[in-house]
A and B are shown apart, each in its own frame.
Chain A
Amino acid sequence: MSSARRTFTAGSRVLHWAMAVMILAMLFIGVGMAATVSDRYAFLVSIHKPLGIAILVLAVLRALNRLFNPPPPLPDDLPAWQQRAATGSHHLLYGLMFLMPLIGWAMLSAAPYPVAIFGPLQLPPVLPQNATVYALLRHAHTFLAFLLFATFLAHSSAALFHGLIRRDGVLQSMASLRTDEANDGA
């Protein structure tokens, strides 16, 4: 008889790692483009916008995927405060991966800047022009980017804590390269 699944599905793992790379790249691109007036500025901005929209699309897919493929449970012997920290930080990560691209889109709309994605492809504005709203969203975008980076550091450190110190299979549940889930519990 099968025990509870102990790893994330292959699809969940692909989504997680693809988005991990994209979001981390996005944070570095964002902080880098805000601190240069060189040619890199225009180049980084031209990546930042389409990459942000791609993350938003994947975040939707990922939330849907999570509904149909819930994550494996954390180990029973994990202290309650760590359980709560895990749940809370995962909610925060999910919230921010939606919020950051939406705020970016909304602040460009309010500025107003055209939301240029690629070539002639352009997204419609989601807010009417309003400089005060723009300023508010622009500052929120920076603040939440730092919060997202801090949450990423906590998340990846916690993952390594599970993998290197607790060695409880939690890191393996996401880091496993196995595709044959039938053997996962073996």
Chain B
Amino acid sequence: MSSRLSIVSVLLRFAVIGAAALAVAAAFTYVGGWLTPRRLTQARIMDAFARQDGAHPGFRRNHAKGLCVSGWFDSTGAATLLSNSEILDAGRVPVIGRFALAGGMPMQADTPSAVRSLALRFLAPDGQEWRTGMNDIPVFPVNTAEGFYDLLLASKPDPATGKPDPNAMRAFLARHPETVRSMAIITARAVAPGFAESTFNSLDAFRLVDAGGRSTPVRWAVVPLGSPPADAAAPPSNAGKNYLFDELIARINQRPLKWRLMITVGQAQDPTADATLPWPADRAQIDAGTVTIDKVSSEDGGSCTDINFDPLVLPPGIEPSDDPLLSARSAAYARSFTLRASERRKKAPSAVTPQEVRAGGKT
């Protein structure tokens, strides 16, 4: 069928085969990031958290200290004007949530200035699902994953002083004027006394899409029902290590807590790809419904523990915007979830224990 090849020809042909395999393997290695150690990957973000906060196996890499809650969402149906999501149809869907403090330290003591978060998972009976993680700050300090990573590195406590290196922070701020601007807004915010009086903001923009395909930029927030809270920059004099969480437990035990889901309708010129920029205060708001929280449990054994509040788990009718932080959060949260799911046997008890919740928030 074929004439014999010379030995040189055989060797050359083997070389061609080897080179082809090597080229494909090299491309694979490049795409996998092994040839570009400076590329920002999930692994590097996780490493930055570990360097900043130490290793805490089994815990979320960020918003590590938290408490599980559950309840329901009564939708007014008002947002169906802009979105065909079934979760926003008038009616009730169950909600699982998690209150937390930002940062990768699961044992940090509660302080008034620590950024508070509320993550929610709405689950419609037909399986449609909406997950959202919100913070009590009005804007985000950075607008890219690179900015987030650099801020983490610049905030790393100096082992000698226990405080971030001021020179590193100065250098970071010089490179990130958007953080200078947003930090001014963040530090000027009124701090509510506790979780129950806090407003939690989506920070990132999203898009509501109606049945006809019309897409509207939005941001959302959950706003506590009741009178506006007094500013509480100072903790109570008898504040325990978990005073914010303990007070939340006691409040939920008294009566269900309610937040109104307010959807801010953006206009074409409003920035959707920059979470450091506030939108004009006069934007129309839709009262989409009420989130009621009536049950609370420790993370240890709680229903929120094994949920990754990935901001890109969205139902049809709610879509991501062009905000690059959404993809970054989704990628990093997924890695954090995989890591902690792999470390369950090594996990220390959470700061707020089942005993503490059963005792009604008394340590």
Q: Counting CB contacts under 8 A, is A98 at the interface?
A: no
Chain B nearest CB: distance from A4 CB in Å? 15
* CB-based contact B341/A42 at 8 Å: no
The reply to whether B342 and A135 contact each other, CB–CB distance below 8 Å, is: yes
A113 and B310 contacting across the interface, CB-CB below 8 Å: yes
State the majority secondary structure of interface residues on A: helix
Binding site for A on B (CB under 8 A): 1-2, 5, 10, 13-14, 16-18, 20-21, 24-25, 27-28, 31-33, 39-43, 45, 127-129, 145, 305-306, 308, 310, 312-313, 316, 320, 322, 324, 326-328, 330-332, 337-338, 341-342, 344
Residues of A within 8 A of B316 (CB): 119-120
Docked Cα-Cα span, A91 to B281, in Å, equals 63
Q: What 1/0 mask marks residues of chain A from 32 to 73 whose CB sits below 8 Å from any chain B CB?
A: 111111111111010000000000000000000000000000
Checking A37, A113, A114, A149 against B331 with a beta-carbon cut-off of 8 angstroms, the contacting residue is A37
The answer to whether residues A32 and B129 also contact, given A42-B320, A164-B16, A168-B1 and a CB cut-off of 8 A, is no
Q: Which residues of A contact B32 (CB under 8 A)?
A: 31-32, 34-35
Chain B residues lying within 8 Å of A164, measured Cβ to Cβ, are: 13, 16-17
Jot down 16 A-B pairs with beta carbons below 8 A, ordered by A: A27-B28, A28-B28, A34-B32, A34-B41, A36-B39, A36-B41, A37-B41, A38-B327, A39-B322, A41-B328, A113-B310, A114-B129, A129-B306, A135-B338, A138-B342, A168-B2
Selecting from A10-18, A79-87, A152-160, the interface stretch reads A152-160
Name the residue on B nearest A125 (C-beta).
Answer: B127
Contacts of A31 in B (CB 8 A): 28, 31-32
Write out the residue numbers on chain B whose beta carbons fall within 8 Å of the beta carbon of A153.
21, 24-25
Q: Are B308 and A111 in contact (CB under 8 A)?
A: yes
A27 / chain B contacts, CB cutoff of 8 Å: 28
Give the 3 A-B residue pairs with the shortest CB-CB distance, closest first. A35-B33, A135-B341, A31-B32
| Candidates B5, B324, B341; contact of A138 at CB < 8 Å | B341
> Is A90 positioned at the interface, with any CB of B under 8 Å from its CB?
no
B interface, over-half SS: helix
Separation in Å of the A117 CB from the closest CB of chain B? 12
Any B CB within 8 A of the CB of A132 = yes
In the complex, A131 has a CB within 8 A of chain B: yes
Look across to chain B and name the residue whose beta carbon is closest to the beta carbon of A32. Answer: B31
Q: Once bound together, how far apart are the Cα atoms of A40 and B327, in whole Å?
A: 8
Given known pairs A35-B33, A131-B306, A153-B24, the reply for A138 and B145 (CB within 8 Å) is no
A124 proximity list for chain B (CB < 8 A):
127
Whole-angstrom CA separation of A167 from B328 in the bound complex: 49
| Complex: A132 Cα to B128 Cα, angstroms | 24
Task: Give CA–CA (A27, B45) in the complex, Å.
Answer: 23
Q: Which residues of A contact B320 (CB under 8 A)?
A: 42
- Which of A37, A120, A131, A168 is in CB contact (< 8 Å) with B344? A131
Are B5 and A41 neighbours in the complex by a CB distance under 8 Å? no
In the complex, how many angstroms separate the beta carbon of B172 from the nearest chain A beta carbon? 18
In the assembled complex, A165 has its CB within 8 A of some CB on chain B: yes
Taking a contact as CB atoms closer than 8 A, the residue among A36, A114, A134, A157 that contacts B313 in the complex is A114
Specify which chain A residues have a CB less than 8 angstroms from the CB of B324 in the assembled complex.
38-39
Residues of A within 8 A of B14 (CB): 165
Residue A122, interface by CB 8 Å: yes
The reply to whether the CB of A161 lies closer than 8 angstroms to some CB of chain B is yes
Are the CB atoms of A41 and B331 closer together than 8 Å?
yes
A178 part of interface (Cβ distance < 8 Å) = no
How many Å from the CB of B79 to the closest CB on chain A?
A: 17
A34→B338 CA distance, assembly (Å): 12
Min C-beta distance of B43 to chain A, whole Å: 8
A167 B1 Cβ-Cβ under 8 A: yes
**CB pair A156 B28 closer than 8 Å:** no
Q: Are B17 and A161 in contact (CB under 8 A)?
A: yes
Contact (Cβ within 8 A) A35 B25: no
